[in-house]
Amino acid sequence: MTLNQFFWSAYAWADAHAVGLLLGGLALPAVGTALAFIGKGGKTDADGRFIASALVGVGFVSVLAEVLAIAIGVGVMDASLLNANLLLLLAPVLCLLGCLAGTRMVFPLSELGSVRTAGDLAGFGLACAAVVWFFSKFRGWGIVFFGSVLQLLVIAALTLFVLRRLYRRAFGLERASRQS
């Protein structure tokens, strides 16, 4: 089986089971919210927090998997997003929204590690995308900067500082250095 055949057969399987995948995407937040609520009722709410954090993490991973599948389908396989099954497109998004809404009813989202990690990763990814976009505007050695060399060095140093700080926050290196 080639990789092309694998992708087409995986989409054909998902298309045949689209209703079940949508129902599973809607049932997961409901079951996870109930489990987090039950876990919150113990001596400590650590079990409930863990379940809620895992639930939100699963929601984010499902949306990231959908985005990856769309990127492969559109960018590599020359398929149109308009030809995709609507139920398959809605299932991960509704799952994430349900996970966030259900978890919010049990715990504040700002107290969950998976939400903070997702925010840190999104900030790092957006900063990297901004740097890549900025450098994509220049072809070859034709960078023209209307300012002094010192101003260019200050801007470059600030950019590197921000990217390094976001990288350390996103991948947990900031907390590890504080603990040791």
Query: Per-residue pLDDT tens for 100-144?
Result: 999 999 888 888 888 888 888 888 888 888 888 877 776 665 556
Query: pTM for the whole thing?
Result: 0.74
pLDDT at 14 (0 to 100)? 94
Contact (CB, 8 A) for 36 and 52:
yes
pLDDT in tens, 70-89: 998 898 888 898 999 999 99
Contacts of 62 (CB under 8 A, 6+ apart): 25, 91, 92, 95, 96
